[in-house]
Structure 1
């Protein structure tokens, strides 16, 4: 097959993947806590073509031979953890993370045997709410996401909030509850939100609904997501802002620029495929004639 046709067809597939990523970024322009995806490309294969000795002329400075490429492929889609802008909401349960951190949540899913099981996941979406326990005898409320996942505490348990309480959340995630019925009572500490620092964003898996997980074959989770504590939060601090939500870090102008570049590159490669097909058709007609 024509080398230019192979080169162009392989590259077009990678450009289609890049186009899908740009479309996904644009679709999540207003998604709370969304992190845009960046694409990395590399050559599939590059070989050196040797030229006949007749090309070697006196005074020729360039060496014999030339590089023959075979297209490009998408190596990985990496999360861009750049900070998004913070939007004030005035809601006490709206939280935004400053820094390369994620909230840890507990997601209930069905396994291969269709049995309910818990799955640990992480998110930047800090739009939380208080929900009743499934046990009618339990008077406490639980801090949960809008989709019903439990927000985990540093003790690896769901965070409980006493009923009829207002909450105040410190920058380190510590939660204090004040009794609405007794304004003179001192606030009590009810827990601390567990957060993790993203060390290797390229290894995170996207679960959908703005949630991430660690691959099952990962040797050590701490190499990808480091649990935030007082000992490691001094150099690269991660903090919580109560009453704010982090907006998507997608910039419309940048995505539109990438979109135009991908479209032009795809158009160029499609024309190369068309030209290669035309030349092969001409060659076949000459031989048959």
Structure 2
């Protein structure tokens, strides 16, 4: 009986993780550059129980399951809808790739959100993210802006030019062999890991100036998944109640 309670409890815990992931997706449906995620599960270890019948009867040993475990959290990096904003410092990426930024501790991070602004300090103006992270160029340095920010233009390759048409920087755009290996750090940013591999040049990415990439969350799909998860959670709760009642009956049996 204890095993049945444990098996059902693991299912309830993991369904709660699934519901939390869905809730996070829905909460970020209006977050530009956000990529939805989903929790994947796998069977826990099976305990082999010998069949009471003889092997020649053609029967196999029984496998007693021990519930499920979280195997991975997958991120859907498919393209979000690109919409016009009209701001000179709004950029959207089409294709695979990430903008390169400098995190709060100076570490290199990557993001799909290209809604940038200006930070004035030390007599200069720098391109920063909504979180205040410095946007980096293709050589890893901060991008300094000219005086006429509204006159800044950007090519599809990410080359920034001033009002006179003179190039002064190029947006750092990187790609990864395995984007699923990227680690979410918060603030709509990602950090590389051994699983993702090192950053490389994003040859197929195109930059759209005056645009923003919307979240790729599909609300209808998320609501459907939420209903399924809630139904599964309800069934698991009933299984826990049934197992508890069976254990209570067994404990109260009289010889």
Structure 2 length-normalised TM: 0.92
Unaligned stretches of 5+ in structure 1? 110-117, 179-185
In the alignment, is residue 226 of structure 1 matched against residue 200 of structure 2? yes
Could you say which residue in structure 1 is the equivalent of 2:135?
151
**Rg bigger for which structure?**
1
User: Shift of the alpha carbon at 1:54?
Assistant: 7.9
Could you say which residue in structure 2 is the equivalent of 1:113?
none
User: Shift of the alpha carbon at 1:39?
Assistant: 1.6
Q: 1:35 and 1:261 mapped to 2: Cα distance? A: 21
Unaligned stretches of 5+ in structure 2? none
Q: 1:162 and 1:22 mapped to 2: Cα distance? A: 43
Could you say which residue in structure 1 is the equivalent of 2:82?
86
Could you say which residue in structure 1 is the equivalent of 2:174?
196
Could you say which residue in structure 2 is the equivalent of 1:268?
235
Could you say which residue in structure 1 is the equivalent of 2:158?
173
The 5-angstrom pairing of residues 106-117 of structure 1 reads 106-109=102-105
User: Shift of the alpha carbon at 1:240?
Assistant: 0.7
Could you say which residue in structure 1 is the equivalent of 2:109?
121
User: Shift of the alpha carbon at 1:73?
Assistant: 0.9
Q: 2:60 and 2:130 mapped to 1: Cα distance? A: 65
Could you say which residue in structure 2 is the equivalent of 1:210?
188
Could you say which residue in structure 2 is the equivalent of 1:16?
16
Contact 1:127 1:245 in 2 (8 A): yes
Q: 2:184 and 2:153 mapped to 1: Cα distance? A: 31
> Structure 1 residues 144 and 280, CA, compared in 2 at 3 Å: closer, same or farther?
same
Equivalenced residues, count: 254
Could you say which residue in structure 1 is the equivalent of 2:53?
53
SS of the counterpart of 1:32? coil
Contact 1:203 1:224 in 2 (8 A): no
SS of the counterpart of 2:88? coil
